[in-house]
Amino acid sequence: SAAAAAAKVLAPAKGGSGKQGKGEKRLEEMASLAVTARAKENLATALAEMTVGFTGAEVANLCNEAALRAAALNATHVTMTHFSEALDRMQGGLVRSRVMAAQDRHRTAIHEAGHAVVAWFSTNANPPVKASIVWRGETLGFVQSKPLERHSKTRIVYEDEMKVMLAGRVTEEVLLGDSSTGASNDLERVTDMAYYLVGKVGLSGSDKLGLMALLGRRGRTPHESALLEVTS
């Protein structure tokens, strides 16, 4: 049963001291619930794609959440639907009990659709997997992407990622005639990325700066004023 599966997954891994070992143990236990070898292989592949960049502890938490979700619904098996719902909860938090106003829901749908469409047509951006306008925590909606494993990034990759981040606000302005505060987090992320590119890794693409690192390891420093002066 799903309840038994939840108990099995929640049990401490034998001899698992490291985070990665803990996560691998949880994935192995979840994959063992698959009925056939093909189902087990498909589940393992889907889970691997879903958890790119996760630590062992995060993988274990995802498995725990999925098993508990299945148990709460009295399901006979833990499926990818439960894993997807568990990932939504990890990324966005609990579903809000309050009902979102119709106009807010419409604007959120347009905003998230903008992110998803630009991500889909951007060569170097992480491809979108799902868009949601379910109100979770402080998040009115989000687009879940399939992370691409990269050990380094070029300026073009960063530029595509920044386009995706700004696409929600731009789509609001084009289709609704104005923008909302829903893009505040997007603007913060774009700003941080721009400072990183220009001020830390020398990927500004400008001859004014060249190959210079104007920002310290901990982010913005007194060099920020010089950076602003040169790039203004």
The active-site residue, picked from 65, 112, 159, 161, is: 112
100: helix, strand or coil? coil
Encoded tokens for 146 = 């399939």
Q: Distances from the Cα of 21 to the Cαs of 27, 87, 178, in angstroms?
A: 10, 20, 49
How many whole angstroms from its chain centre is CA 10?
24
Rounded to whole angstroms, the Cα distance separating 172 from 99 reads 21
Estimate the share of the chain in helix, then strand, then coil, as percent rounded to the nearest 5. Answer: 60, 5, 35
Inter-CA distances, 26 with 64, 93, 123, Å? 8, 22, 34
112 is catalytic: yes
Half-sphere exposure of 12 (CA within 13 A, CB side): 5
- 97: tokens are 């009990």
CA–CA gap between residue 100 and residue 123 (Å, rounded): 34
Q: Which residues are the active-site residues?
A: 112
